[in-house]
Structure 1
Amino acid sequence: MSNAPAPDADALRRRVRDFLAAHDPATTPPTEFLGARFDAGLAWVHFPEGDGGLGAPRALQQVVNEEFAAAEAPEPPAHAVIGLGMAAPTILAFGTEEQRRRYLRPLFSAEEIWCQLFSEPGAGSDLAAVATRAVHDPETDVWTVDGQKVWTSFAHMADFAILVARTDPDVPKHRGLSYFVLDIHDPGVEVRPLRQATGEAEFNEVFISGARIPDADRLGGVGEGWKVANTTLMNERVAIGGRAMPREGGMLAPVTAAWRERPELRTPGLQDDLLRLWVDTEAARLTGERLRQQLAVGAPGPEGSAVKLAFAVLNQRTTGLELELLGDEGLRYDDWTFRRPDGTGWNERAAGFRYLRAKGNSIEGGTSEVLRNIIAERVLGLPQEIRVDKDVPWKELPR
């Protein structure tokens, strides 16, 4: 660990340019390039030295990203998003030094892909009600896990999973959880595809039967799983809804392009709808920018729920308007072939795909109903919803 002061923006730019001079992005294999970037502290500059960072202010990450983007340097693939946006900050916050050294570098270089085993058939919105059990054997110091998880993105490609399991059924549901890293290649893990309305199986259901996890792969203390999971969830909502976006970017881009390029589709009513949507989207984009600035001085908070909620609502409004604008043409569906993709590829597909896929935005990363509760209670300070199961031991809850 160096005692040198953290670099400023100019020093970071020089550091990135020196790195690019030594690692030509056009000829260096992506995995090798990303691994070297991690070693240089240019993965997440606000992480400590040795963990892919330089101990610099989080706001300076944008400086690094701009330099690498200008050089057309390799970036982690889309299917690494769960490792990057959810597992990495959780490992940093709760992992031991050995865990950080073991997992962070191959996570960033995408040599190892991660998924998230939180939701279950009976515990989606009510995540704390998870029934997947983990039982500890003190002789071997190994946990045996049994249960089922669902709506798991990229489990079919993953090497590791962040897992929440119940380790104590005798206490209220929020207190009896623990948080683990699970090797997806364990023989007790079976991944099955879930075909969606789009025709693809981007999601999966995961069956766990006798999977074994060494206690060394637990994150946080026994019974502290809810606390650790909340760190993941707050980062997840920012990762989904708070990404940097150019004006008229994202789902709005094909709608505004069609409006400008095909005047025959325009009507006064659609113009009014588009203008309202443009204003709301721009307000959400600027709110996301403000959130990222707040993140520069602290960890994600409940405000991330608001940007994720706006992301879901606006995506569904935008894709609906696109179908209205295109008329009969928008009803054509380009390809319903069953596949297990390595990303969503929204802008590479037709309007019908975007419309159907956007329906999942109000479920994934926290349902819109749960997010509204969080905003009401933790941002606006409104009275808490009545929770009759708050202090009831989990095993006594009705099933």
Structure 2
Amino acid sequence: MVIISIVVGLAVLAAFGALHWYAWRRLVRDTTRQGSVLRRSGSVVFVAGPLIAVGALMISRAEVPFRLVQILAWPGYLWLAFSLYLLLALLVGEAVRPLLLRWFARRDTTAEVGARSQQTPQLAAVAPGPPAVTEHPLAPESGPPPASAPASPSRRLFVSRVVGGVAAAAAVGTVGQGAYGVLRGPKVKRVTVPLAKLPRSAHGYRIAVVSDIHLGPVLGRGFAQRVVDTINATQPDLIAVVGDLVDGSVEDLGPAAAPLAQLRARHGAFFVTGNHEYLSGAEQWVEKVRELGLRPLENARTELPAFDLAGVDDVRGEREGKGPDFAKALGDRDRSRAAVLLAHQPVVIHDAVRHGVDLQLSGHTHGGQLWPGNYLAELANPTVAGLERYGDTQLYVSRGAGAWGPPVRVGAPSDITVVELASRQA
């Protein structure tokens, strides 16, 4: 097993290096002259960037000072996002490059033929004899136009610079816009979910759903405060924090999570673990959120006036002898009452259906976070984002409030969702 992990790791690193070599070749080697300052500077960037990125990923789980993790995280994670979109842009450039070269070659050929045509009458006027019989040697031959000549080295350099410059600008713009969308904080999304068993008295009940905040070396206390302020502004009846709150230990991130103590809702705030809690010390974080005033639901249920609220541990906990226990959370409940389940990963929806859950609230997917990651997320999750029905159970998946790894989102904006329950008796 260890040997397989090493082989896979080496293969990933080799592919990572090969992709960066290709990007360096197109963006640096093909656009600069041998020995120039620009080529040397670009080469340094394309060596340092991936090394810092790999270092940021490896050091995040190592026993090193948290400050060092923070120093490497910003440039390392941003480089990962930048290299992704630079690669995509360069691949598009591969299709555009030959078209530009052909266009320039045709334009140069047309200009050359036109110049020769303008010279022919002048030379013919000096030459003796009838022009209809004697054809000047410089006149273009009859028949099809000459084939396009190969592009000159200077023309190829110009095209490479245009394609490379546009690709780099597109990558920087995409990552910049995606980072701004994360750092400004999530926007509020509102969804109405009708529940057949919900009593009329609970019509319009509001649950603020927040997932995947991912407090860590990049997103810290300031981001947590923006999330809390956004949630409180919606004036919810209940707050559901459905996992992946943190990426780090209580010792390092306890101060960053402190604003969660300000969460306010009529029926309180509840919490279930996500897979990242089990990478960060789940037991310590469960106790920490309890200290902050949230109520953890560890395979447990509470009976609210209008419905049952249940929560299950994340499936990652199975590696530690925990994980979701639906029988414990839902086995002996009164099924005539509506049931709302908090579960970090959407994949447990089929267990929720078997246990008569009316609505499951989940996160985990980030909506893909970085396009085209949404296509990969679709392979691993029944629902990537939004509301879908599975039998008599409805599943709502939030895209999450924060971001994992690169603090960037492209095609998957962050959200805090206010789920408004609707009674069909109203």
TM-score by length of 2: 0.21
Higher relative contact order (CA 8 A, sep 6+): 2
Q: Which has the larger radius of gyration?
A: 2
